[in-house]
Amino acid sequence: MKKILIIEDDVFLGDVLMRKLNNEGYETSIARDGKEGLTKIKEIKPDLVLLDIVLPSMNGYEILEEKVKDPAIEPIPVIIISNSGQPVEINRVLALGVKDYLIKAQFSPDEVLVKVRAQLGGEGATAASSANVSNSLKGKKILWVEDDKFLSDLISRKISTQSCTMVHTTNGEDALKALEKEIPDIILLDILLPGMNGFEILQKIKTNPAWRAIPVILLSNLGQQGDLEKAEKLGAKKFLIKATVTLDEILGEIKRSL
């Protein structure tokens, strides 16, 4: 049974999350202040930590700073649950190794569960896929079309370790302009975008003789059967659902598609 530690001083939210995760078969513990939370991380070594930023005695940043110094707990994945979604805060926790980020006013317990599953449910598959993919991305060029800043920052950091080049755009118009300048080796394409959606962009790519051979991976929060069928019909190489894949799995699919 996977162990989850919730470090949250909001009694109502903490209890709601505990009930939700317990009902899904996880073993959960809770700490109501930062010092207690850091102590519990060291004592129980959970499989995942849900961490608030603003806490009594020691804030979330301080916990993360202590965690990265301790090899025994440094690898434990952390999802931040915060009242703020400012870029400066997101960048700070990313630099401290945080895996995902939720803004309290904008999520439901079900969304937390999806994020938890993405971290815990995919661990075995991630290890297997990473072991089976030996080809390198060195020298490859990736076009990433995504308007979610947090996810873009995460994948940029991940891909930057692969000695390849990534061009990032946030909408279809800029993506098509980028394609006119230089042909990438692969395209990662969100579906829900401002202006043209991902399906419309994919159709334009696949009807252009100069671009149609470029493999395209669709990456979206959508996952209905109709979406999958439409993606296949339009020529997508792969369809990944954001909430159910890890960064390593995305990287593995890029390598396989190339």
**Minimal CA–CA distance to 69: which of 101, 100, 46, 38?**
38
C-alpha angle 189/195/196, rounded to 5°?
Answer: 50
**Minimal CA–CA distance to 253: which of 155, 145, 149?**
155
Given a cut of 90, whether residue 87 has pLDDT beyond it is no
Summary mean pLDDT of the chain: 86
Q: What average pLDDT does range 211-235 have in this prediction?
A: 89
pTM: 0.54
Q: Do domains 3-121 and 134-257 have the same CATH topology?
A: yes
Alpha carbons within 13 A on the beta-carbon side of 133: 19
pLDDT computed for residue 135 by the predictor:
52
Could you please state the CATH topology (level 3) that the domain comprising 3-121 is classified under.
Answer: Rossmann fold (3.40.50)
**Minimal CA–CA distance to 109: which of 32, 189, 28?**
28
Helix, coil or strand: residue 256? helix
Given a cut of 80, whether residue 74 has pLDDT beyond it is yes
Residue ranges of domains in the chain: 3-121, 134-257
Q: What are 157-190's pLDDT values in tens digits?
A: 777 778 888 899 999 999 999 999 999 999 999 9
Q: Are 33 and 9 in contact (CB under 8 A)?
A: yes
**CATH code, 134-257:** 3.40.50.2300
